[in-house]
Amino acid sequence: MRFGVNYTPRVGWFHHWIDFDADEVARDFDAIRELGADHVRVFPLWPIFQPNPTVVSAAALGRLDRVVELAGERGLEVAVDGLQGHLSSFDLLPSWLVSWHERNMFVDENVVAATAYYLETLARTVSAHPNAFAVTVGNEVNQFTGTVHPQPHPATSVQITAWLDRMIGAIRRGAPELLALHACYDASWYDDTQPFTLEHVARHGDLSVAHSWVFNGTAQRFGPDAFETRAHARYMVEVARAFQTDPDKGIWAQELGAPRNVLPAASVPGFIEGTVEQLAQAPHLYGITWWCSHDVSRGLGDFPELEYDLGLIDEHGRIKPEGLQVRDAVAAARKAPPSAPANVIDLDLAAVGGRAGLAPGGDFWTAYMDEARRGGHPQIRLVQSNAVRAHDEVRAKEGSTADA
């Protein structure tokens, strides 16, 4: 099991791509190494890296080169996400997508071609480094579609399949040796209006990727110290696994954190320990990557309150108690080998009311959590109900490539 952190630069947050300071990055990576991390996940900002559809900034790529190099010098491997896109409440989309140019990120052919060009170029840059291991399409790109976003880019699931095929294909052309991935936030697990589906999560890319945030209603509903709250990340992993078609495919808990808006200080150590322990016992878990490395400086404005305190290292560069707790929880978990699931639980998505039945407090959620509390995390067996089969047949007919 790998352990790493999502790298949030201490000085200037991700805007460091503008005011780049290699010495600061080096200092940040030194501190991250002290956490026992073996890798960092790194986030280019799309409008900086691709200010025009035909232009990928050479200066920005050069800075990314330097970041990967600095990580390598400290024994850190690197995963890079392409389309940011969405980060900590901020949408960062290039001007050629928005307002007067209002173009659909997932459907407009010119946009899709330009985006693929960017991802291929980015992947090629990253792949030149021996310590690079993965390229992810973007951070939670499903934030940009579905029904909840203020500026949606509407798309059907069939269109998303085609889009993911293009994007993952572009990454593979640029970096044939690296893992090609995509990442969704939990609407893909819990919300039937979300066109990025659990099939997309489970079957597209070289690993399945889960991002777990207990401010999604879990901690609010069950409480900060509840079994459900500490089991949530593992649950997301098990749900994703149920939709996989390749039994050997790994699952990466690529992003999880201890948000203080729902977890009081006293609950944080237990949350960290319980979450890491349960995750680490999952068969085929690829790794855990904590969100995030560094607190957002209080000198930066307009972040939602919870975003300032998610770091394992504070804004002055000092490792926080959470940093030691995560480090120790990972070390402890590594000593206990993954355990075979104690039981099997069937999931008939149609019967539980669609993805809402998987959401916190939903019918399937409740059955799963009862079972997990009683006898350990069960394996979820997908029951191919008529509805699901029909859905899959439609996708097959439309030329979808599962496990692309």
Q: Which residues bind a copy of itself (CB under 8 A)?
A: 12-13, 15, 18-20, 47-48, 51-55, 57-60, 89-93, 95-96, 98-102, 110, 114, 149-151, 299-302
* Interatomic CA distance for residues 300 and 361, integer angstroms: 36
Number of CB atoms found within 10 A of residue 396's CB:
11
CB-nearer residue toward a copy of itself: 46 or 286: 46
Preceding omega of 292 cis (within 30 degrees of 0): yes
* Interatomic CA distance for residues 105 and 98, integer angstroms: 9
Would you say 336 and 281 are in contact if contact means Cβ atoms under 8 Å apart? yes
Helical axes 109-127 vs 157-174, angle rounded to 10°: 30
Residues 6+ apart with CB under 8 A from 400: 158, 161, 162, 165
Taking the complex as a whole, how short is the minimal distance between the CB of residue 157 and a copy of itself, in angstroms? 23
CB-nearer residue toward a copy of itself: 98 or 319: 98
Please give the C-alpha separations between residue 123 and each of 109, 321, 392, in angstroms, as whole numbers: 21, 35, 31
CB-nearer residue toward a copy of itself: 238 or 309: 309
CB-nearer residue toward a copy of itself: 144 or 271: 144
Would you say 71 and 64 are in contact if contact means Cβ atoms under 8 Å apart? no
CB-nearer residue toward a copy of itself: 53 or 357: 53
CB-nearer residue toward a copy of itself: 59 or 342: 59
CB-nearer residue toward a copy of itself: 20 or 222: 20
Helical axes 268-280 vs 227-243, angle rounded to 10°: 30
Preceding omega of 85 cis (within 30 degrees of 0): yes
Taking the complex as a whole, how short is the minimal distance between the CB of residue 372 and a copy of itself, in angstroms? 33
Helical axes 58-73 vs 22-34, angle rounded to 10°: 40
Taking the complex as a whole, how short is the minimal distance between the CB of residue 18 and a copy of itself, in angstroms? 5
40 phi, psi to nearest 5 deg: -130, 150
CB-nearer residue toward a copy of itself: 177 or 302: 302
- Of the candidates 82, 254, 68, 245, the one whose C-alpha atom is nearest the C-alpha of residue 172 is 82
